[in-house]
Amino acid sequence: MKTLRTAVVTMAVIICLSACGNAGARNKKKATDNTPKAVVELTSGEFNSKVFDTSLDNAKFLGDKPAIVDFSATWCGPCQRLSPILEELAKEYEGKVDIYKVDVDKCRELAETFNISSIPAMLFIPMEGEAFMLVGLRNKAELQKKIEEIL
């Protein structure tokens, strides 16, 4: 009986160590991945200089091409699933559409300004016409359709 218990404990330790080892390898890969990101994360100040100056009463769009602003958070599961889709779209529409990310935890005043109460929330900004908001996780095809609407 003691031998069986020892074997079970030994197996549990081996399984735990191998699982932790793989997680470390994944984290190391992420840390050394220097691939440039196509989606640009903005601070409040950068948002005010590149997208809208929210300090003005009649803020107007400051960009030179249509834009999408993804309001998200690092802890949000749907936001994490949306992020690689937006990266793909940013590369596909490079030079045609700017795609930005705003962390609602770091930029609370921006989230309040745009009445963000659910995330992910994406603000689509055409060069002409009204900006509009999409809330929730969307698939790539649906986002491509919305991008074509603002081009």
Which residues lie across from 53 on neighbouring strands? none
Residues with Cβ within 8 Å of 73's Cβ and at least 6 positions away in sequence, in order, are 79, 103, 104, 105, 119
Q: How far apart are CA 51 and CA 30, in angstroms?
A: 29
Helix axes 77-92, 140-150, angle to 10 degrees: 50
16 is catalytic: no
Given 16, 20, 79, 107, the catalytic residue: 79
79 is catalytic: yes
ω before 78 within 30° of 0 (cis)?
no
Coil, helix or strand at residue 86: helix
Given 16, 20, 76, 107, the catalytic residue: 76
Q: Could you give the residue numbers annotated as active site?
A: 76, 79
